[in-house]
Amino acid sequence: MDIHDQQDKRRRLNDQLHAVRDFTMGLLYVAAGLFLFLYRRWGLQIDLISRPIEISLGVIVLVYGIWRIVRGIQKNY
């Protein structure tokens, strides 16, 4: 096994780990975005920020999470 095979193997492993991390973090961001939309329907009262800011932040976090999931699936690094 020469040095190029080892480097290629290490690069593929690194890409796989990067994809798993992107996919996992994307799921967490999507969950956080959905929480910002739905927590009031579940009867929770958290009055830290106003509703329009919650919705705006929820959209941003949700879109970012979807982007991370897509990037993890495509493995486009």
Asked if the structure places residue 9 within a domain, the reply is: no
Over 90: is that where the pLDDT of 75 sits? Answer: no
pLDDT mean over 23-49: 88
Asked if the structure places residue 59 within a domain, the reply is: yes
CA distance 19 to 69: 9
pLDDT tens for 9-22 read 999 999 999 999 99
pLDDT at 21: 94
Considering only residues 76 and 18, tell me which one the structure prediction assigns the higher pLDDT: 18
Q: What's the structural domain count of the chain?
A: 1
Asked if the structure places residue 1 within a domain, the reply is: no
Q: Where in the sequence is the domain holding 48, given as residue range(s)? A: 15-74
Asked if the structure places residue 3 within a domain, the reply is: no
* pTM of this prediction exceeds 0.85: no
Asked if the structure places residue 25 within a domain, the reply is: yes
- For residue 72, the number of C-alpha atoms closer than 13 Å in the C-beta half-sphere is 17
Asked if the structure places residue 7 within a domain, the reply is: no
Q: How confident is the model at residue 31 (pLDDT cuts 50, 70, 90)?
A: very high
H-helix or E-strand containing 48? none
